[in-house]
Amino acid sequence: MENTPQAEVVRAGNEEKLAPGKLHAAQYIVALVLVVLLGGLWRLQVIGASNYRLLAEANRIRKVPVLAPRGKLFDRDGRILVDNYPSVTCYILREQIRDASKDSPELALIARGLNLTVDQVQSILRHYQLAPKYEPIPLKKDITPDEQAFIAAHRDELPELETQDEQRRLYPSDGFAAHLIGYVGEVSEQMLDDERYAAYSAGDVVGRSGVEQTYDAVLRGTDGYRNIIVNSHGKEVGQLGQQLAVPGQDLKLTIDLDIQMAAEKALQGRNGAIVAMDPHTGEILALASRPTYDPNAFAVRLTKAYWSQIINDPEHPLLNKAIQAQLAPGSTFKIIMSVAGLEENVAQDMRVNCAGGATFYGHFYACDARHGGVDIHNAIPLSCDTFYYTLANRLGIDTIAKYATALGISQKTGIDLPNEASGTMPSTAWKLKTQHAPWYVGETISVGIGQGAVTVTPIQLARALGGIASGGAMQRPHVVFPDEVPSELRQAIAENFPGSGEKAFPLSVPNWQLITDAMAQTTITGTAAAVHMANIDFAGKTGTAQLVSQNFGAKGMGSGANRANAWFVGMVPRRNPDIVVAVLVEHGGFGGAASAPLAAQVINTFVTKKRKQDNNLVVAEVPKPKPAETPAPGEAVAAPQPAAIKQSSPAAE
C-alpha cells in the first residue's frame, strides 16, 4: 500500500510545503515592505504634497520681478532734479547654464556678446550663489542696443539669457548737488547683514548716500512680479498672472534750484562748501560741496577704475564738506565770543588798546593790524584779535564752551543727511576725557579767535549765526519738507538723525541787536567792505583760519596745502534773516577776499528772485571778486598757539 504511486505523490506534496516559521517570516517581510511603501506614498502625497507641488510649479512657472520705479526728486518750486529713464537689463537663468567653468564656450560667448570677461560673469554668478537657482540673476544692467541684438540673435543658442525693461536713475550732470542728492547702488553683502536691510535681497537697488539713503523707504516703492509659464528650455510661453509694481513716492526738496545753481557756480574751481538756509524754518535752500563726483556712475554698475579713482583722490570727493568738514572757524567764531562776553556782562565796558597784539602768559599773540582803541562795537567789523584774546582770557574756556555748546557747536544739527559730523568744542572736561591732561589757561587765548582745538562744520556755523541773528531761536536743518513724508516714517527718520534739533537759547535783545549791527558794519567799512551791496541789508563775518603756526613760518596765509582756510557767514536782513549763507573755501586765504564774494553771489540771487516775485525791481550789484592776496583792511590773521600747547586738530595753527 505504501509503495503505490498515489502514496508517493502525497509524500512528495507534503515535502514541498514551507515550514510554519518560514511562512510567518515571509508574511512579516511582505507586510513591512507594504508599510514602507505606504509610508512613502503618505509622505509624498500627503505630508510633502504642498512642497512638491511648489517644486513642480517652479519647473513650469517662474516668478519674474517687476522693479518699481524710484520716486523723482523736485526742488521747492516743482522743478525736477532727479528723474528716471527707461533701461534694459540682461538676466541669466542659472538653472539653464550647461557649463559654468572658466573654459566654457558658453560663458565665453556670453561674455563676448555683452562686452564682459569670463571672470566677470563667474564673479556675478558667485555673488548670487546663495540665491534660489530658479531666480534670474542680473548679469548686466543698462545694456546697449547692440547687446540687445546679440541676445535676440542667440535665443536658441543661449536660452539662459533674458532681458527686462526697467527704470534707472538719471542724475544732473557734472556732479550738480551730488552730495545733497546722493546716489543709489546694489545692496552690499555687509548691508544685508544689517537688520535695517532685512527686507532687501542681493541685487536690490538701495539709496547709498544723501537724500537717496535717508528717504530710501519712501522713494523705492514696492516691486511687483509676473508669473510666467516656461517650457523645458526655460523660455516663456505664457503668463498666468501678475502683481503690478507700486512706484516710489516723489519728494519735493527744500532746495531752491536757482540758489543751488548760484552756489555751484560760485564754488567752481575751488574746494570747499556753501550752505544756504532759511533760519526761520531750518529749510536748506542750497548745499554744495567741492570736489564732487558723478552719481550716474553709481546708478548702474560702478566700475573698479572709477571707484579706485575717487577713493584714492586726496581731495576726498565723496566727503560732504557742508556737514562733514571739521575745521577751525577762524574769526567767524568771534560772533559766538561776542555773545558769551555780552551775556556774561563782561564785554559791554571792555576796551583794549590794540598795538598789533598782546602778551599773555609770557607769549606774544599777534594781531593783523594796530587797531588802537577797540571796544565791542568795532571789534567785530575790525576783526581785532587783540580784543578777543583779552575777552577769552577774562571769560575762561568753560564759559566760552557753555555758550558755544548752547549755540550748537560740537553737536550734530540733526540735518536729515547721513554721516553728519559733530565738530569739537574744547573745555577742561573735554581735555581731561580725551587727552587725560589738564587744560592750561594759555590754550584759551587761541580759542578766542576760533583756533586751537575748536572745530566746526559749515552747517553748524550757518545754524549758530542764523540763530544768533534771530534772537537765539534755532531750527533743525532739513532738506525735505516734513509733510512730504508719511507720518509713520517721519518720527523714525528724526530718531535716525539725532542732534540738537530745534532749540531756543534766548538772548538779551540789546545784545543780539548790537552784534547784528556790528555784522552789518562789517560789510560796509569792515573786513568784508569789498562785497558791500547797495539796497541790501547785508550782514556778515569773515574768518581766516591758519593751518600752520607762525612759529614755523612767515607771518601770513602760508602757501599750498598750508594756506589758510577762508570762511564767511552772511545773512539778509541783519535781524531775523530770511537767508543765512556759510561759505568755506579750503586754502583760500583771507575770508574777505576768497569767501565773502561767493556768499554775496548766492545772497544776490536770493534777493533778486524774491524782489521779482514781489514785483520789486530794485536789483543790487554784486562786486566782482578781487584776486588780491593781501588782506582786506583790518582783516585779522589768526595768531598761533605757543608751541608747548599746540593742539592736534587738523585746522589748528
Identity of residue 33: V
Instruction: Please give the helix or strand (H or E) that residue 73 lies within, else none.
Output: strand 73-74
- Tell me the per-residue pLDDT of 475-523, one tens digit each, with 9 for 90 and over: 999 999 999 998 888 888 888 888 888 888 999 999 999 999 999 999 9
Percent of the chain scoring above 70 in pLDDT? 85
SS3 of 287, please? strand
Q: What does the pLDDT read at residue 496? A: 85
**d(Cα 152, Cα 142) in Å, to the nearest integer?**
16
SS3 of 170, please? strand
Q: What does the pLDDT read at residue 49? A: 67
**d(Cα 528, Cα 520) in Å, to the nearest integer?**
10
Beta carbons within 10 angstroms of residue 374's beta carbon: 21
Q: Which domains does the chain have, with CATH numbers?
A: 62-97+106-252 (3.90.1310.10), 257-481+500-645 (3.40.710.10)
Q: In sequence order, what are the residues at sequence separation of 6 or more whose Cβ sits closer than 8 angstroms to the Cβ of residue 350?
A: 341, 375, 376, 387, 390, 391, 394
- Tell me the per-residue pLDDT of 306-318, one tens digit each, with 9 for 90 and over: 888 888 989 999 9
Q: What does the pLDDT read at residue 512? A: 95
State mean pLDDT over 96-106.
Answer: 83
**d(Cα 653, Cα 646) in Å, to the nearest integer?**
8
Handedness of CA 109, 112, 116, 117 (dihedral sign): positive
C-alpha cell at 237: 510661453
Q: What does the pLDDT read at residue 645? A: 28
* Structure confidence at residue 617 as a pLDDT band (50, 70, 90): low
Q: Which regions of 297-447 does DSSP assign to beta strands (E)?
A: 352-354, 357-360, 363-366, 372-374
- Tell me the per-residue pLDDT of 554-592, one tens digit each, with 9 for 90 and over: 335 666 678 899 999 999 999 999 999 999 999 999 999
State mean pLDDT over 444-461.
Answer: 96
- Tell me the per-residue pLDDT of 50-77, one tens digit each, with 9 for 90 and over: 666 655 555 567 777 778 899 999 999 9
C-alpha cell at 114: 555683452
Q: How many Cα atoms within 13 Å fall on the side-chain side of residue 640? A: 19
Q: What does the pLDDT read at residue 648? A: 29
Identity of residue 116: L
Let me know: does 77 contact 255? Beta carbons within 8 Å.
Answer: no
**d(Cα 335, Cα 210) in Å, to the nearest integer?**
30
Orientation angle between helical segments 105-113 and 118-127, nearest 10 degrees = 100
- Tell me the per-residue pLDDT of 356-409, one tens digit each, with 9 for 90 and over: 999 999 999 999 999 999 999 999 999 999 999 999 999 999 999 999 999 999
State mean pLDDT over 416-443.
Answer: 96
**d(Cα 542, Cα 333) in Å, to the nearest integer?**
10
Torsion of CA 135, 139, 140, 141, to 10 degrees: 20
- Tell me the per-residue pLDDT of 124-169, one tens digit each, with 9 for 90 and over: 888 888 777 777 888 888 899 999 999 999 888 888 888 888 888 9
